[in-house]
Amino acid sequence: MSAIPSPILRLPIVGQNSPLLAPLSPPAPPPARPLRATELGAFRYESKLEKRIAQKVGACAREFGLIEDGDRIMVCVSGGKDSYALLDVLLQLQRKAPVEFSLFAVNVDQGWPGYDTAAIEGHLRTRGIEYRMVRAHEIAAIVERVVRPEETGATPCSMCSRLRRGVLYGLAQEIGATKIALGHHFDDLAETLLMNLFFSGSLRAMPPKLASDDGKNVVIRPMAYVEESDLIKYAEERQYPVVRCSCPTCGLPEQQRQVIKRLISSMSEEHPGLRAQMLAAMKNVRGGHLLDKRLHGMKVDAIEPESDQV
Ligand code: SF4
C-alpha cells in the first residue's frame, strides 16, 4: 500500500493572522491567580473517585517530571469527557502542587459539521481560566481531499492527528506555552500498544512526556495511569457537557482502535486484573528479550521505516 503523503509540511505557518487560528471569540480576561491550598484551608475532593483520579495524575506527574515551576501549560479541550477531566484535575493540582504553574485551555474546531463549540466554550467560561477557541477547518478539508475516507475506506486518523498536532504546536509557540497537555488515558496507551504490535510493526505506546523533533514543544499526558472507566464515571458525576467530535470516522466499529478496545474489554471480563497487568508490563520492559538489534548493542545497517504512530 502506498504511503499517504503527509500534508503537515504544507500547513501555513501558524501565527496571529493565520486563518487557522482565527478565534471565534475574544479570549477571556486573565483570571486572578488561583488560591493555593494553604490559602484556602484544607483541600477537599468532591468524591473518592475524584481523589483516585487526582492521585494517579499526581503520581504520573511526579514520576515523569511532567510539571515544573513556572510552566505555562496549554490544555487541549476537545469537549470529550477526558479533556474536561484533565482540565479539572490540573486545576485541582494547581492549588495543591508544591510548584507554581499556569493553565491555558484551547479548543480546536477541525471543521467537522455539527461540532458544538458553543457548549465547550460555555463550559470553559465556568472554569475561570484563559482560553482560546480556534478554527482549523482546514483539517477536515485536507483529510477529505487527500484521504477521501468515504470513497477509499482508508482511516484518516493518522493524517488528521498530524495536522492537529501542527496547529497545536504553532498555537503553543504563539501563546508561550511550555507544555501541551493532552487527555489521553491508560486505555488509550494500552490500545495504542496493541495496535502498533498487531498492525504497525513496532512496539510502542504513547509516552507521558515527549519533546517534538525540533525541541520547541513538549507534550505531556498526565492521565496516563487513569483508566477510562473512571473517567466515564467522573464525567457523569460532574455532568460534563460532552460534545462529540462529529468526525464521520470517530468510533466506527471497524476502526482498529475499536477492534482492540473490544478485545481488551472482552479479555478483561475473564481476567479482571488485565489492565493493571498491562500497566505493570509497560513499566517493566525487558528490551533484551526482544529482537530489536539496537537493544542488544548491535549495529543495524538501516533502520526499517516506521509506520505512523497511531
Ligand atoms: S476519529 Fe476523526 S477526528 Fe478523530 S483522529 Fe480520526 S479522523 Fe481525526
pLDDT digits (tens, 9 = 90+) for 285-304: 999 999 999 999 998 876 65
Query: Which grid coordinates belong to 162?
Result: 498530524
Q: Does residue 98 carry a pLDDT above 60?
A: yes
The answer to whether position 98 is within a domain reads yes
The answer to whether position 52 is within a domain reads yes
The whole-number average pLDDT for the span 18-35 is: 55
Identify which of 8, 157, 206 to mutate to test ligand 1's pocket (most ligand atoms within 8 A of the CB).
157
Identify which of 249, 256, 257, 261 to mutate to test ligand 1's pocket (most ligand atoms within 8 A of the CB).
249
The answer to whether position 70 is within a domain reads yes
pLDDT of residue 37: 52
pLDDT band at residue 3 using 50, 70 and 90 as cut-offs: very low
Burial 221-235 (b: 16+ CB within 10 A, else e): bbbbbbbbebbeebb
> Is the pLDDT higher at 43 or at 101?
101
pLDDT of residue 125: 97
The percent of residues above 70 in pLDDT, for the chain, comes to 83
> Is the pLDDT higher at 104 or at 28?
104
Q: Does residue 78 carry a pLDDT above 60?
A: yes
The answer to whether position 306 is within a domain reads no
Q: What is the mean pLDDT of the chain?
A: 87
111 lines ligand 1 (CB under 6 A): no
Q: What are the start-end ranges of the H helices in 108-153?
A: 117-125, 138-146, 149-152
Is residue 76 within 8 A of residue 223, CB to CB? The reply is no
pLDDT digits (tens, 9 = 90+) for 36-59: 554 556 678 999 999 999 999 999
Q: Does residue 66 carry a pLDDT above 70?
A: yes
pLDDT of residue 150: 72
| Residue 249's CATH number | 3.40.50.620
Q: What's the whole-model pTM score?
A: 0.85
Q: Does residue 89 carry a pLDDT above 80?
A: yes
pLDDT of residue 7: 40
Is residue 222 within 8 A of residue 208, CB to CB? The reply is yes
Is residue 101 within 8 A of residue 71, CB to CB? The reply is yes
Range of the domain at 136: 8-28+43-284
The answer to whether position 200 is within a domain reads yes
Is residue 133 within 8 A of residue 171, CB to CB? The reply is no
The answer to whether position 297 is within a domain reads no
- Which residue's alpha carbon is at the smallest distance from atom 1 of ligand 1? 250
- Which residue's alpha carbon is at the smallest distance from atom 7 of ligand 1? 157
pLDDT of residue 148: 80
pLDDT band at residue 2 using 50, 70 and 90 as cut-offs: very low
* Overall number of domains in the chain: 1
The answer to whether position 309 is within a domain reads no
The answer to whether position 241 is within a domain reads yes
